[in-house]
Structure 1
Amino acid sequence: MYELAEGTVAVLPGSEGGSNPVLSTDGESVAYVAGESMFVTDISGGRPRFVTTVSEPQGVSWLNDGYIYVADGQGRRLRRVAPDGESETIINSGCSCAVPADPPHGGGVVVSGRTTEHIVHIHPNGDRDTLSIRGNHGQFLHSGYVVFLRTGSMFAARYDADSRTISGDGTLVLDDIRTGSIGASGHYAISRNGTLAYVAGPPAGLLTPVVRSSDGSEERLELPDGVYGEMDLSPDERRLIVYSYDRGRRHLLHDLVSGSTQMLPIPEGVAYVVWDSPQSYIYSETRADRSTFFRSRLSGGSEEVLSFEGQASPTAVSDDGNLLAYRKVNRAGGQDLLIHDFAADSSVVLAGTDTDPAIYWSPDFSPDGRWVAYTRSGDGRSEVFVRPYPPDGSVIQVSTAGGEEPLWIPGEARLVYRYGAEWYTVAVDRSGESIALGSPRLLFSGPYANVAGMEYRMLSGGRALLYRPVNTEMNASRIEVITGFDRMLDELLPE
């Protein structure tokens, strides 16, 4: 605990290993996260009190209504927690929430997207107002401003509470705020009396796309440094689709042979695109809780290929183009993994149930389409598994101490998967009707980025497409405090 007036620092007893600390509105208590638990402790002393369990929270706030709000499950769920532990889920899935905040009027809570350009005011009766912004991690100030981030820079705009609109695209306020791995969430907080505290430093989200050879050497792609997300490689290894956060949340099509790059003609904000042939790809749109999958051709034109109720995203296609794997949000807020057979025009569940809160993701088909490797994330950890297709109820665990994002290496009888900054390979014997897997062995390691979705792809010859962070120094150099931040905005944004 740092005392601004006196410049002193004190350690709260029992808070070792804590993160996401937030002060109560009366300044007498602190809530924080340690592991998968949330605790509350009094600043005056005493033992920390367990409040509730959490799962990879992206933001915690203690708001004026006396509740602690948690952007839980990697920001997918929004929960309201009383200091005595009573909990209520406000948004069960699909939130993409950053740090919750107090609204400018009307009670309730405000959340802003980590990867979407909007601020949502959720009223006490459940009604929602959505404000579009040209950035992320936005917050309202009671002095009549909205602040938000764009790749390490803070912008501000005046907010009209009557029309619920902002003026312009924002004025640059600061250009050195540390951001998260995708450049969306930033390390800053604004007090109710107008004091801004932030972690200063270059954005951690800028990435350089590279090809890593089996000998460890790297070659940079002819793509500029940017804030990138999910990537997918065409079956002929010629073209790469990458999601660009800092180019209007659009997908870029990069030709690995010619080095040319262009925008894909698909709607802004669509996060997942997968190749189904060297000349076409599949993407999805979700509107009014209905998902529609489209096939689009590089030569032009698109067609609807699948439509159903619920939120879903395409994730992989078999080598022959007949099988499509996709994730679908279930009633428990988890994500099931399904396989659609285009020839039979039917889908089956490969992993998950409607009441399973776990997330099944990053599937990849074996070259013959008979096996699917995937990740299961739940209970605070992720592991890699393989199941047969069609599913018969059997499952084989691949990773032994954590792992995610498996891929079958082209032209080789091997699987590869990621665990943190390390990539492991597993020998695969598919000579008979069954499958036999060897023990995981370290393939390579390095400070490569881990973003939302698949951030690497394997090429023939043991090469890998990866994102290398431009800024590898992750420790904060300093924390800056600006008192009278409201007055500073008055000078920068005169009426």
Structure 2
Amino acid sequence: MGTQQASHSYPQFLPDGTHFLYYTQGAPEARGIYVGRLGSTESRRLFDAESNALYVFGHLLFSRQGVLFARSFDPVRFETKGNPFPVAEQIAINQQGGMALSVSAAGPISYRTGSAAGLRQFVWVDRSGRELSKVGDPIGAALNPSLSPDGRRVALQRTLNGNTDIWLLQTDRGLLTRFTSDASVDVTPRWFPDGNQIAFGSARRGAVDLYRKSATGLGPEELLVASPQTKTVMDFSTDGRFMLYRSADPKLGFDIWALRSQGDSKPFPVVRTEFEERDAQFSPDGKWIAYQSNESGRYEIYVQPFPGPGAKWLISTNGGGQPRWRRDGKELFYVAMDGGLMSVAIELSRYGKTAKAGIPLPLFNARIGSPVPAIDSQQYVVAADGQRFLMNTLVEEASNSAITIILNWKPKP
């Protein structure tokens, strides 16, 4: 993978059965459609695009700003010819640049319209799941919310016209404003404890590195952590001294790392095994972390002392993901595998040595999607007293959007 490339995905063989197309996310100068060959590390970039591309009838189909385009392509010389021309509008694209599109050599083309990530609505609910109020209007492809310490703004990632940026949503007025505007992918924002800065991940240098920026939106963006691995900010300790993040190791999968927020410190591993560990959250006193791991064969919720060493304690009973603490540290929440929000009473020793958990109790159906999203993190926020929850609810599943079929499609002569 190139130094400015964040991911390779959506391969499709070309007619010779040896060469293939694939899509690369990353810095603007590296993003786009590529041709590779089996048994070789060499590749050729064809052009920039906001989605993957599919080959049919001597043309490549791809998307820009929600419009499906076709461009003439020679599958022998691997060269494009002429200018792209539109085929359809409002094609759905997911966070990884994958189009909701299928092609056939027999002629038909089928695609979905709308948002492949689904339409979402932020809703405050009580402990029974009863709706208290909506926050703003429904938003397409809005993910990974983080509530500001004063409760007045939600930082989130949003994909618009094929570009994923950080946005801010006002909880009182429901107004949505853009926070970043880089051409590369900006994801998973997290507020600093003082509310003055926001950390987030960005693929502007290739792999997703971690940055911070003033919450005013003014001033430069400062690089926090850079490495060849893709990283995601997870949480800050209440005193702001430590930042937790997950890193995708090509051999070990997701691991949990930490960085001291002040000084010229080096990141250090917190939980690093051959299993997947992710989405960690600091306890309010900063002496424990809750996280999810699949070491048992399915994802479960664990707690362990921070920074360690110390034993880990199993909290969930039948699988779960997306842990969150109540602000006093006496209750832990997570999403069960059936999609229900669970509550667990918990007692933590003062010196980070023992944890005693109660029986997990179901609260309500979360309606926030998968309990363990493939690459995303928590899709809900817990109010300080644990009596209210801001849920990033799915109001329109991508699978419910319309399917359009174009019969006997033929490119322009």
Of 100, 110, 116, which residue of structure 1 is paired with 2:21?
Answer: 110
Of 414, 419, 422, which residue of structure 1 is paired with 2:336?
Answer: 419
One-letter identity of the residue aligned with 1:196: I
Q: How does 1:149-164 map to 2 (within 5 A)?
A: 155-161=68-74, 164=80
User: Post-superposition shift, 1:419?
Assistant: 2.2
Which is worse superposed, 324-333 or 133-142?
A: 133-142
CA 1:218–1:340 in 2, change beyond 3 Å: closer, same or farther?
same
User: Post-superposition shift, 1:443?
Assistant: 1.7
Verify: 1:410 aligned to 2:327, yes or no.
yes
One-letter identity of the residue aligned with 2:151: E
C-alpha distance in structure 2 between counterparts of 1:202 and 1:293, whole Å: 27
Contact 2:6–2:206 (Cα < 8 Å) also in 1? no
Contact 1:239–1:253 (Cα < 8 Å) also in 2? yes
CA 1:209–1:130 in 2, change beyond 3 Å: closer, same or farther?
farther
**Identical amino acids, percent of aligned pairs:** 21
3-state DSSP of counterpart to 2:160: coil
Q: How does 1:76-475 map to 2 (within 5 A)?
A: 95=7, 97-98=9-10, 100-103=11-14, 107-112=18-23, 118-124=32-38, 125-131=40-46, 135-148=50-63, 155-161=68-74, 164=80, 167=83, 171-173=86-88, 185=98, 187-197=100-110, 205-215=118-128, 216-246=130-160, 248-265=163-180, 267=182, 268-276=184-192, 277-285=194-202, 292-299=209-216, 300-302=218-220, 304=222, 306-311=224-229, 312-332=231-251, 334-343=253-262, 345-353=265-273, 356=274, 358-377=275-294, 381-411=298-328, 413-420=330-337, 421-433=339-351, 434-450=354-370, 452-461=376-385, 462-471=387-396, 474=399
C-alpha distance in structure 1 between counterparts of 2:6 and 2:295, whole Å: 17
Contact 1:115–1:245 (Cα < 8 Å) also in 2? no
Which is worse superposed, 140-149 or 108-117?
A: 108-117
One-letter identity of the residue aligned with 1:209: F
User: Post-superposition shift, 1:209?
Assistant: 2.1
C-alpha distance in structure 1 between counterparts of 2:120 and 2:146, whole Å: 16
User: Post-superposition shift, 1:260?
Assistant: 3.1
Which is worse superposed, 290-299 or 274-283?
A: 290-299
Q: Deviations over 1:217-246 (max 9, x none)?
A: 142212443221222122222221111112
Q: Deviations over 1:30-50 (max 9, x none)?
A: xxxxxxxxxxxxxxxxxxxxx
3-state DSSP of counterpart to 1:320: coil
C-alpha distance in structure 1 between counterparts of 2:311 and 2:260, whole Å: 20
3-state DSSP of counterpart to 1:225: strand
Which is worse superposed, 413-422 or 454-463?
A: 454-463
3-state DSSP of counterpart to 1:402: coil
Contact 1:310–1:328 (Cα < 8 Å) also in 2? no
CA 1:143–1:418 in 2, change beyond 3 Å: closer, same or farther?
same
CA 1:120–1:231 in 2, change beyond 3 Å: closer, same or farther?
farther
Higher Rg: 1
Q: Deviations over 1:366-422 (max 9, x none)?
A: 001000111124686321111111211411111111101101023461110112421
Which is worse superposed, 215-224 or 359-368?
A: 215-224
Which is worse superposed, 129-138 or 306-315?
A: 129-138
Q: Deviations over 1:261-290 (max 9, x none)?
A: 321136341223221131111234456677
RMSD: 3.7
C-alpha distance in structure 2 between counterparts of 1:284 and 1:446, whole Å: 26
Contact 1:180–1:205 (Cα < 8 Å) also in 2? no
User: Post-superposition shift, 1:454?
Assistant: 2.3
CA 1:343–1:196 in 2, change beyond 3 Å: closer, same or farther?
closer
CA 1:371–1:157 in 2, change beyond 3 Å: closer, same or farther?
same
C-alpha distance in structure 2 between counterparts of 1:106 and 1:474, whole Å: 31
Q: Deviations over 1:284-320 (max 9, x none)?
A: 4456677753331124324646344332232211111
CA 1:457–1:292 in 2, change beyond 3 Å: closer, same or farther?
same
Which is worse superposed, 331-340 or 306-315?
A: 306-315
C-alpha distance in structure 2 between counterparts of 1:440 and 1:135, whole Å: 43
C-alpha distance in structure 2 between counterparts of 1:315 and 1:223, whole Å: 26
Aligned residues: 388
C-alpha distance in structure 2 between counterparts of 1:196 and 1:378, whole Å: 42
C-alpha distance in structure 2 between counterparts of 1:416 and 1:329, whole Å: 25
One-letter identity of the residue aligned with 1:274: R
C-alpha distance in structure 2 between counterparts of 1:352 and 1:322, whole Å: 21
Using the size of structure 1 for normalisation, the TM-score is: 0.68
3-state DSSP of counterpart to 2:169: strand
3-state DSSP of counterpart to 2:240: coil
C-alpha distance in structure 1 between counterparts of 2:396 and 2:242, whole Å: 39
3-state DSSP of counterpart to 2:139: coil
3-state DSSP of counterpart to 1:101: strand
One-letter identity of the residue aligned with 2:235: A
Contact 1:364–1:408 (Cα < 8 Å) also in 2? yes
Contact 2:26–2:203 (Cα < 8 Å) also in 1? no
CA 1:483–1:399 in 2, change beyond 3 Å: closer, same or farther?
same
In structure 2, stretches of 5+ residues that fail to align are none
CA 1:453–1:114 in 2, change beyond 3 Å: closer, same or farther?
farther
Which is worse superposed, 315-324 or 468-477?
A: 468-477
